[in-house]
């Protein structure tokens, strides 16, 4: 079965890993994850289980290979931390929202010169399209707009430490989102 939990991002800190190296980690708190439902091949056309975080109310469906992996699950069963230190996982979260941003911050544009008569054009994009032909701006043009607040998955993260008493998992590296954001943690096996 795919190990999957809904967690809450607590903070970033540093720890010594098993090899004695000092690494940056993200600390995740595991809440009350319960089985909310199951899907079976015969009835639904695929196999999956649905988990719900009781604190936030977030519900996620996790697909699995076969019905064998979900046959023993019953609605209301509590999911425990079944990861172990050294496991490789992927983390899915919503990135921090930055609001409406210009091209310099959003796309890394250089901007215009600060001299030669340009008093108010330093952070502007410059020319954005042709004249009569094509007579429009092409779709996908890098321009100012809303930045952040999108779902991102970071793969290949390693679990450094697990504290089952306090329901905490320390994962090496950065995970999308701010403190208090919800993160879906999945094993990559």
- In the numeric block, the tokens 């939990």 are attached to 5
Task: Please classify residue 44 by burial: count the beta carbons closer than 10 Å to its beta carbon, then call 0-12 exposed, 13-18 middle and 19+ buried.
Answer: exposed
Convert the pLDDT of each residue in 1-15 to its tens digit.
Answer: 568 999 999 999 999
Q: Are the C-beta atoms of residues 189 and 158 closer than 8 Å to each other?
A: no
Query: pLDDT tier at 90 (50, 70, 90 boundaries)?
Result: very high
Predicted confidence at residue 42, as pLDDT, reads 84
Name which of 6, 56, 24, 29 is nearest 157 in CA terms: 24
Whether the link from the prior residue into 117 is cis, omega within 30° of 0, is no
Q: Which of 156 and 70 is assigned the larger pLDDT?
A: 156
> How far is it, in rounded angstroms, from Cα 97 to Cα 60?
22
Mean pLDDT calculated for residue range 107-132: 85
What share of the chain in percent tops pLDDT 70?
Answer: 99
> How far is it, in rounded angstroms, from Cα 38 to Cα 45?
12
> How far is it, in rounded angstroms, from Cα 151 to Cα 95?
6
**Sequence ranges of the domains in the chain:** 4-96+151-187, 101-148
Predicted confidence at residue 161, as pLDDT, reads 93
Is the pTM higher than 0.95? The answer reads no
Predicted confidence at residue 64, as pLDDT, reads 86
Convert the pLDDT of each residue in 34-69 to its tens digit.
Answer: 999 989 888 889 989 999 998 888 899 888 888 888
Predicted confidence at residue 156, as pLDDT, reads 94
Q: Are the C-beta atoms of residues 2 and 186 closer than 8 Å to each other?
A: yes
Q: Which CATH class is domain 4-96+151-187?
A: mainly beta
């Amino acid at each position: 079965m795919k190990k999957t939990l809904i967690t809450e991002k607590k903070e970033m800190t540093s720890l010594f890993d098993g090899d004695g190296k000092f690494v940056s980690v993200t600390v995740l708190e595991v809440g009350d994850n319960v089985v909310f439902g199951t899907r079976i091949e015969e009835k639904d056309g695929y196999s999956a289980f649905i988990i719900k975080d009781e604190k936030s109310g977030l519900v996620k469906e996790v697909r699995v290979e076969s019905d064998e992996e979900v046959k023993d699950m019953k609605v209301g069963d509590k999911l425990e931390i079944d990861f172990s230190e050294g496991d490789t996982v992927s983390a899915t979260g919503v990135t921090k929202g930055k609001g409406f941003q210009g091209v310099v911050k959003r796309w890394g544009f250089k901007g215009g010169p600060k001299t030669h008569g340009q008093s108010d054009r330093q952070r502007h994009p410059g020319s954005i399209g042709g004249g009569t032909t094509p007579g429009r701006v092409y779709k996908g043009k890098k321009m100012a707009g809303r930045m952040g607040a999108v779902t991102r998955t970071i793969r290949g993260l390693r679990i450094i430490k697990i504290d089952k008493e306090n329901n905490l998992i320390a994962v090496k590296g950065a995970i999308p989102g701010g403190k208090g954001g919800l993160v879906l943690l999945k094993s990559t096996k």
